[in-house]
Every structure is written in structure tokens, then in C-alpha cells.
Amino acid sequence: MSQPIATWKLICAGISSLILVMGIARFALTPLLPAMQAATGLGDDGAGFLAASNYAGYLSGALLASRLRNPLTKLRFYRLGIIFAVLTTAAMALSDHVVIWSIMRYFGGLTSAAGMVVGTAIVLDHLKQRHRPDYIGIHFSGVGLGVVLSGTVLTLIEPVMSWDQGWLVVGAIGLLLALPALLWMNIHGLKAPNIAHGEGINMRARPIIMLLLSYGFAGATFSIGTTFIITIMAQSPSLADSRNLAWVLLGVALAPSCYFWMRSAIKVGDFKALTYAYIVQAIGCALPVLWPSTASALIGGFMFGACFMGIVTVVLALGGKLSPHNPSALIGILVVSYGVGQIVGPVLAGIAMEQTGFSELGLWSAAACSLISIAFLWGARCPSNVPVKEDCPCLS
């Protein structure tokens, strides 16, 4: 097989895996949640707990994946993740008990890490060997395509199918996606990396602490927004009819966002690019409650989708630049910080929404967390007259 064909088969495997583990196993809950709440009496606090369970699973999987070095071990973990992504998605239809759902969501999050972290690492290693690392942006489009696919399908079947049938439908689609994700992902020619053992970065440096806090609140924005945006719209008479279309537009914006924000970071710098992304994200979260209308719901969903994965891409790339001798060290801590925000955010927002009866509080909370991220990001910025050093790095 020629190298270009092999490269594109690998990229297709990566895209298929992200559509499955992110767009379906992780994000199908969002458009299905209003129907689940209406049919089972699940409250906003319970919905927040389901989201937290999923993000706890993702955090566990990401931490486990960060310790894998052998390519064969990575591939085995990836394959298990793909298989369990299909199983845990379909299993959501088999119960209406929040504890069972939480268990399924936890393992669904674990599978997301297998595809997002390990699958991406395998694809990136291949692309680096073939001198096409820029193709990784095509790979990441799978997240947005998955949101579009699951959102469109669930919108079409909503009038004729119940929530549990919806889970079975997206599970069946996931089974089809699992075939290229399993058959075309390979580790031919890959070797275990040599880990450098330099002094590395000073994790107690103030800019690093500020960056970790900023990224933690970004995780809260992401999890609150993706969990509650459709539920909040469903509870508003002026937004209910446009909620699923808003979710699909979110996915449309998400697909090219990683490439766009990485190019922006190269052009204007990491600090400015992240600041712009956080501002746009905050506006996108707040717009549907500031101006309740179909137009605001669609524009807000698009703006939110255009930012959150781009922020992840820029921050993790920044982590690699700030810790060049051992990038996995800082990136691993960034993943933990983001994961803590993902877990705590929807739980607190869900409890607050349930106790106050003010459903819009969820989107206000997401917007506030995005603005708080900017405040901490400013704390990580390096003054113009201070040189950047590895033991005390900062953003420029």
C-alpha cells in the first residue's frame, strides 16, 4: 500500500474513533437529556452528576493513558476503548436508574480517553514520521463531525422514538464507526519514546499555577455548557424549538476550530489567542439567556462550539512548549486541572439550578467561568521587560 493511502486510512480511523468516543459516547447525552428528564423525572442535580461521572471517567482514562509507553499496549487500550464505547452507549437504554446511568457514563468517559488521548497519540506519531503533523487538525475534526452526526440523527428521530430508543440508534451507528476505527488504526513502525530526564519545569512558578487555574475554569465552562445548553433551551418557550439545531451548529463550528485557533496562536501569540477564545466562548454561553430567541440560540451555540476544543488544543500545545524537556509532565497536570473543572462544574451548577429553580443559572455559570479563566490567564502573562526562562516560564 502506498504511503499516502496508508496515511489517509489512518486519519479516517482516527476521525471515526473521535466521532464514536466523543460525538456519540460522550456528547450524545446532551441532546437526549431533555427527553430523559421528562420521561424519568431526572432533576438538574442528577443530570450534573451524570456529567461529572462521565468526566471522572475521562480523567481516569487520561491519567492511565499518560503512563502508557509501549505502542502495543497503547493499541490494546485503544481497541478496548472503542469496543466499550459502543457497549456503554447502547447500555444507557437498558435502565432508567441514575446509579446505573452514572456507571455507564463513567466507563463512557474512560473510552473517550482511549480514543481522544491514545488514538490521537498514535495518529500524531505516524504523522510526525511522515512529516505531516499539520494533518492532525483534520483528525480533530472528528469531534465536531460526531456532534453534528449525533445531533442530526437524534433531531430527526425525536418525534417518533423515545429516549431509550435514541440511545440504541446512536449505539448502532457507533458499531458501524467502530469498524474503520479498529481495522485501520495500526502501530506499524512506531517505537516507544525516549523520555528525557532534564530538570524540567518549575511547577510551583506563579505563571504555571495561574495557567493551571485558568485551564481548570475552562474545564468547568466546557462541562457546564455541553451538559446543560440543550436542557436550558428546552425549558424556555422561545428557545425550545431551536435547541437541537443549536447543538448541530455547535458541532459545525467545532470541526474546524482546532485548526483556526492554532493558526491564530501562531499569528498573534498564545495569550491573545486564548483571551479572544475565552471572550467569544463567554458571549456564546450568555447570549441565549441575554437575548432569548432562535437567532441567539443558534449564534450562541455556534460561538461556544467554535471555542472550547480550540482552547484545549492551544493550551496543550502551550504546555509542550513551556516544558520542552519533558512535555508530558506539564500536559499531564493540565489534563488533571481541566478534569477537576469538568467534574466539579456540572455538579455545582446542577445543584444550584435545582435549588434555585433558575435554569438559566447554568449558562450564566459557564460564561462566568470563561471570564474567570481570562483573569487567571493574565496572571500567567510575562511582563514585557522580563525574559522567559524555563524555571519560571510565562505567556507572551
- Domain segments of the chain: what residues? 1-187, 198-396
pLDDT at 111: 87
**pLDDT of res. 168:** 97
* Class at the top of the CATH hierarchy for domain 198-396: mainly alpha
- Per CATH, the number for 1-187 is 1.20.1250.20
Report CA-CA distances (Å) from 265 to 153, 198, 253, 352. 34, 27, 18, 36
pLDDT at 174: 96
- Do 1-187 and 198-396 have matching folds? yes
Per-residue pLDDT of the chain (396 residues; tens, 9 = 90+): 567 778 889 899 999 999 999 999 988 998 899 899 999 999 888 888 898 899 889 889 888 887 777 888 889 999 999 999 999 999 999 999 999 999 999 999 998 888 888 888 888 778 878 777 667 778 888 988 998 999 899 989 989 999 999 999 999 999 999 999 999 998 776 666 555 544 556 667 788 899 999 999 999 999 898 877 777 777 777 777 777 788 888 888 988 898 899 889 889 988 999 999 999 999 999 998 888 888 888 898 899 999 988 998 888 778 767 766 655 567 778 888 988 998 898 889 888 888 888 878 888 999 999 999 999 998 887 654 444 444 445 555
Q: Distance (Å, rounded) from C-alpha 362 to C-alpha 115?
A: 28
